[in-house]
Structure 1
Amino acid sequence: MKRLFVILFVLLTATRICVAVPIDTLFAGMPDRLLPLLNLDNRLDCLDLYNGKMNAEVTNLFGERSRLTVKTADYLRVELSAASRMELKLLSMGNDTVIGRIHTVLTPAADSRVEFFTTAWKPCGTVHVVPPKENDFWVRPDTVTEARFEELRRAAGLAWVEAVFSSTGDTLTYSLSLDNVRSDWREEMRSCVRPVTYRWDGTKFVH
């Protein structure tokens, strides 16, 4: 099975034939610079285990546990360690496919980086997304006074922003991470923030 994935990837990347590349093949063929924790054998083991409906957990190159948790025809999510995760999303763009990749570091609060690539894992310069500004997340509910709202905003401090792809649709959602704020104010802060969702229209993400 592992050899089949490798041969398929080599054949697909060596030709210019327009085909839909399976997400399994793209994940297996990721450059090491984009996924240094998991080598080719690790990735293939994850795929074999997941496709066999088993716990897709492996020991990564740092001696920690990594697990493939979700995989569909166009989405994949890997918990790389207790402190980071990665998501892949395949986006149709005319006759081509664009790969969206999110790498999220979870400490001290979730903070994400969103990038786009071709199916040959080259940076896709024609696709980018402008993240929301901090003000876009904050909405004062009627139950919170203006003075208290401003106090909560100041207390939130530096904005840590988490991004996630939908596993069932072509959306990208940004959320303000509050994991690093004082716990006794966290729930009240959550009532004052909202996620910001972008939708893929075939060429770009629109809000």
Structure 2
Amino acid sequence: MQEGVALNYTVRHPIGVVGCISPWNLPLYLFTWKIAPALAVGCCVVAKPSEITPATAFLLSELCMEAGLPAGVLNIVHGTGPGCGQAIVEHPGIKAISFTGGTATGRHLARTAAPMFKKLSLELGGKNPNLVFADCDLAAAVATSIRSSFANQGQICLCGSRIFIERPVYEAFKAEFLQQARGPKDRRPAGAGHQTRGLG
């Protein structure tokens, strides 16, 4: 081997059965986002959709059977978190857990799975603020904030639920944001329904 030259190898081996638990707000997107990589590396999957949005997962199971996926490779189970989800996390035969959902539930999953040395992937609640600075492109900042506030009715973990605005552009941003948020038919009073805060 030549001095100063190194080789790195990444070897991917299936680890066994993977438990995938997904939320209700993007029922097909997040469900398949978890399942596909696990299947691609050779793992079998036990997947639980949200009990609020079971139909998408059921239709996916029908498509997988129609496509010829062998029985037992993808197992979609329906039920509540405390019943079905807890059983997946606790089962000693499930070697990894992928969960998207609330922080409190993620904390509980971590407490359950950690003593069993399971691999964990936790994508937990966000709802971070948008930060708008005085040197911004105001039109772009408003457009981005409108999208991040209302895309999918705001039911995405990376949507902004608060906006912090630097004081020099506060009034201009607020006026334009509210005008776009109201839309042409909305006659709510200015300032209703959304919290903004000026930063000093």
Same fold (TM over 0.5): no
Q: TM-score, normalised by structure 2?
A: 0.26
Structure number with greater Rg is 2
More helix by proportion, 1 or 2? 2
More strand by proportion, 1 or 2? 1
Q: TM-score, normalised by structure 1?
A: 0.26
